[in-house]
Amino acid sequence: MGRMKKEATLIINIINIDTEPKMERSLVLIKPDAMPRRLAGAIVARLEEHGLRLAALKMLHMDKSLARQHYAIHQDKPFFEGLINYISSAPIVAAVFEGERAVEVIRKIMGTTDPAKAEPGTIRGDFGLDIEHNTVHGSDSSETAEEEIKLFFNANEIY
Ligand code: RTP
Ligand code: MG
């Protein structure tokens, strides 16, 4: 291959890598505080309205063992035991959403961890009660998402 052609191929490849949509999946949990307030449907709807595709959905009551695995990264934090007790206190909804840059997009739609600081129009800004009862969880990276999804769903439950 001539030098010009090689360079052209290289440039085309770089452009392709840059423009290729980054399809990702993220685990979303609709936390216990949302359920008695009848917010599960509204939260799923908000994510779908932003173009995210629902790939898996179930309702479950997390036990402490699953809670400890899911939040293992926080095991040394002072809020850990409270967080485990809270997330395993009542039934929740778990979902997998898929889309371009889904992890980042979902975290934007959710708003920041503390509802008092979350922007109006975000799920936590509109519905969150306090830093513990903050209504939703969303994975914080593509790698974490894949690990978290495995804790909640078998491969044949994801569509
Ligand atoms: P999540 O994992 O639930 O999506 O929340 P996040 O990424 O926005 O926040 P993260 O730092 O991962 O914290 C996990 C959950 O722990 C509770 N938390 N409490 N008392 C506190 O200072 C405190 N800090 C965090 C929150 O419920 C948070 O969602
Ligand atoms: Mg987190």
Residue 12 lies in a domain: no
Count Cβ atoms within 10 A of the Cβ of residue 130 and give its class: 0-12 exposed, 13-18 middle, 19 or more buried: exposed
**What single-letter DSSP state applies at residue 34?**
G
Instruction: Tell how far the Cα of 29 is from the centroid of ligand 1, in angstroms.
Output: 12
Where in the sequence is the domain holding 87, given as residue range(s)?
21-157
Residue 150 lies in a domain: yes
Residue 65 lies in a domain: yes
Residue 80 lies in a domain: yes
Residue 63 lies in a domain: yes
Q: Which of 70, 63, 105, 106 is nearest to 85 (CA)?
A: 63
User: Does residue 42 have its Cβ closer than 6 Å to ligand 1?
Assistant: no
For residue 40, what are its two tokens? 């599960």
User: Does residue 147 have its Cβ closer than 6 Å to ligand 1?
Assistant: no
pLDDT in tens, 25-58: 999 999 999 999 999 999 999 999 999 999 999 9
User: Does residue 131 have its Cβ closer than 6 Å to ligand 1?
Assistant: yes
Is this prediction's pTM over 0.85?
A: yes
Residue 42 lies in a domain: yes
Structurally, the chain folds into a number of domains equal to 1
End-to-end CA distance of the chain: 43
pLDDT in tens, 98-149: 999 999 999 999 999 999 999 999 999 999 999 999 999 999 999 999 999 9
> What's residue 19's pLDDT?
64
Q: Residues with beta carbon < 5 A to ion ligand 2?
A: 140
Residue 71 lies in a domain: yes
Q: What CATH number has the domain bearing residue 105?
A: 3.30.70.141
